[in-house]
Structure 1
Amino acid sequence: MPASDYVQGLRDRVGTDFLLLPAVTAVIRDGDRFLLARQRDTQRWSLVGGGIEPGEQPADAVRREVREELGVDATVEGIVGAYGGPPLEAAYPNGDRVGYVTIAYACSLSSDRFALERAELIETSWVELADLDALDRHEWIGQVLQDAARS
């Protein structure tokens, strides 16, 4: 997905220098399974989420991200945890460097029929923790899902 107007405005000023950005992550669970989504840009599995826009409450941001990426409404049930540091840092092909600090929210969905009409996601899958190591995934999601499984 293209950068938001806010991030693009920052990029216009700082170029590809490192930006630390606030984000949200949706932890969607069905019993012992968690919903993962494969991203179009990296082809890797991750959790649904994205950046918080200026003036936006984090819980509203996670609901917006779920709606944008899956086409369904989410109910926020609580906070799983907050995550950041090197595991959430990335360099994009255009040279932009970024680090995210994300608040992970436990969420439930209004439907399990997803509309992946946006170009951001390729597919979704329900996965058990034991199956994570077999997936090409963003490593940091393992910690988030372990924390969610304990709650």
Structure 2
Amino acid sequence: MATPDFILALREKVGSDPLWLSGVTAVVLRGDRVLLAKRADNGKWTAVTGIIDPGEQPADAAAREVLEETGIVAVPERLAMVHVTDPVVYDNGDQTQYLDLVFRFAWRSGTPLPADGENTAVDWFPLDDLPPLSDGMLTRIAAAVSDEPAARYLVSAQRNAGS
């Protein structure tokens, strides 16, 4: 997976210490189907995800990632969910955690293909017949598919316990 230049520059300063990054998940819908990509690094199916570049608008970042990774042109419809991912430790020891903004997107044009090498396959799946997905990804897709007018905000169990 291509690491953005700004992260490489930060890594020169902080090594593999934890980095707090802003990310996006784009749940692209076409009727009753969702666009999923099979990641090259771990073989898991997922909605399109990516890192927001410095100064980039989050919805623009998500649209850019969809086009770069799948060849699909899609437009944002709404912010569906805001959450913090679990910490991630990459094979090289780099540690990150993401503030993830989940957007619902509508397909406009294009045929899915693994466009940039980050994925080995890209396809449309019926919402009622998805491949195996992580619980976190299922939660993101459910938030995007719902017709809730406002975004979902996840609250940690620790905070709930103190209420």
Name the counterpart of 1:146: 142
5+ residue gaps, structure 2, are 148-163
Q: 1:3 to 1:83 in 2, by over 3 A?
A: same
One-letter amino acid of the structure 1 residue matched with residue 139 of structure 2: Q
SS of equivalent to 1:69 = helix
Aligned residue type for 1:143: T
Check 1:128–1:70 CA distance in 2 against 1; reply closer, same or farther (3 A cut).
same
User: Shift in Å at residue 117 of structure 1?
Assistant: 2.9
Percent pairwise identity: 35
Query: How far off its partner does 1:127 sit?
Result: 3.0
Gaps (5+ residues) in structure 1?
A: none
Aligned partners of 1:144, 1:50: CA distance in 2, in Å? Answer: 14
Residue 94 of structure 1 aligns to a residue whose secondary structure is coil
The two structures have a TM-score, normalised by structure 2, of 0.82
Q: Distance in 2 between matches of 1:63 and 1:117?
A: 14
Q: How far did residue 33 of structure 1 move?
A: 2.6
Contact 2:29-2:107 at 8 Å conserved across structures: no
What is the CA–CA distance in structure 2 between the aligned matches of 1:51 and 1:32, rounded to whole Å? 27
Distance 1:32 1:131 in 2: 10
The structure number with the bigger radius of gyration is 2
Match of 1:99 among 97, 119, 123: 97
Structure 1, residues 114-145: CA drift from partner, whole Å, max 9, x if none? 2423110111233345544x51x343111111
Per the normalisation by structure 1, the TM-score is 0.88
Q: How many residues align?
A: 147
**Residues 51-70 of structure 1, C-alpha deviation per residue, up to 9 Å, x if partnerless?**
00011111111111111111
1:4 and 1:52 mapped to 2: Cα distance? 9
Aligned to 1:50: 50
Shift of 1:109: 2.1
